[in-house]
Amino acid sequence: MSPGPQSGGQERGSMERKMVELEDTGLTFATEVDLERLQALAAEWLQVIGEDPGREGLLKTPERVAKAWAFLTRGYRQRLEEVVGGAVFPAEGSEMVVVKGVEFYSMCEHHLLPFFGKVHIGYIPDGKILGLSKFARIVDMFARRLQVQERLAVQIAEAIQEVLEPQGVGVVVEGVHLCMMMRGVEKQHSRTVTSAMLGVFRENQKTREEFLSHLRDGTA
């Protein structure tokens, strides 16, 4: 079974958190990843594929790889309640809320190659709404780990359902997979679409169609 919405995939507190700066990005983030071990593994991997990690162009590559993977998988070390914080607010309305075109970047768990695209989210409140920026943070929490697109859609929908307990949630994910573009069939223009529907979005065709019609209007 896939991990639940709050699952971070690892036990927290087992290692000291350290601040890491990504080269040439200006981005600094905290991580508990064993960067020294990851760096050693990256150097060994370079040797296995026939490279020399001691040559000038690769001297800092293991360090860069370790930091990059700590960032790309930081979703394992996040918790839903921390991501959402205090951004759940009371609301009287019950009209559909749609958040379109949330960008995501993830890593395919089958080949460790990137896939990326957009997430579209809809929900019908039942007394609570979520601050709009938190939808992007929830998407990132589940995208920044090894993933398959089908599970990504389900985890996002289940997380929103857990946080808001709305009448229903709909999530559509559109993705482009480099494992199809760089290897195997090498198809450059294919796109994969997956969805997850909960509550009235699954049970009521009219509600589902209203949500999907918002996605077809070409403004995503």
Q: Is 214 a catalytic residue?
A: no
Q: Which of 6, 150, 162, 179 is catalytic?
A: 179
In the annotation, is 32 catalytic?
Answer: no
Say which amino acid occupies 172. Answer: V
Binding site, annotated residues for Zn(2+):
108, 111, 179
Active-site option among 63, 111, 162, 210 = 111
CB 210 within 8 A of CB 138: no
User: Which residue from 69, 82, 64 is spatially nearest to 141, judged by alpha carbons?
Assistant: 82
Asked if 179 is an active-site residue, the reply is yes
Q: For residue 149, indicate whether it is catalytic.
A: yes
Which residue's entry shows tokens 């370790």? 66
Side-chain-side CA neighbours of 196 within 13 Å: the count stands at: 18
Catalytic residue among 109, 165, 203, 209: 109
Q: Give catalytic status of residue 177 as yes or no.
A: yes
**Annotated active-site residue in 108, 161, 167, 174:** 108
Q: Is 174 a catalytic residue?
A: no
Can you tell me whether residue 162 is helix, strand or coil?
A: helix
- How is residue 119 annotated by DSSP? E
- Could you list the residues known to form a binding site, using ranges: 108, 111, 179
SS3 174: strand
Pick the catalytic residue from 39, 149, 155, 161. 149
155 is catalytic: no
Residue 202 and residue 59: Cα distance in Å, rounded? 53
Active-site entry in 81, 82, 103, 110: 110
Tell me which residues are annotated as active site: 108-111, 149, 177, 179
